Amino acid sequence: MTNLEIGGAVLAGGLGASIGSFAAVAVERMPNGESLRGRSHCVCGAPIKARDNLPIVGWLLRRGRARCCGARIPGWYVVVEIVAAAVAVGIYLLLV
C-alpha cells in the first residue's frame, strides 16, 4: 500500500465517521421533531464546542461525557461513527 493509498483510506475514514455522526444525530433528533439545522447541543441545552464535536476522537477524549455538565454520551453514537468509518474505508479499498 502506498502513502497515497493510506492517505486516501484515512480521508475516507474521516468522511465516513462524519457521515455516521450526522446519521446518529438525525436518528436522535428526528423522532422528537427537532431540527437537523443549527449547532449540536448537549442534553442540558448547552452548545457543543467544535473541539468536542470531532467524530470518534471527541467522544474518546471526553471519555463519553459532556464537557458542559458531565452527562453521559451514549456509546451507540461512537459505534455508529466507527462502523460508518469502517464501511467508508472498505469501499475505498475496494475501489483502489
Q: What pTM was estimated for this model as a whole?
A: 0.88
Per-domain boundaries in the chain? 3-95
Residue-wise pLDDT for 8-22, tens only, equals 999 999 999 999 999
What SS3 class is residue 88?
Answer: helix
Residue-wise pLDDT for 46-66, tens only, equals 998 888 889 999 999 999 999
DSSP 21-45: HHHHHHHHHGGGT--S-S--B-TTS
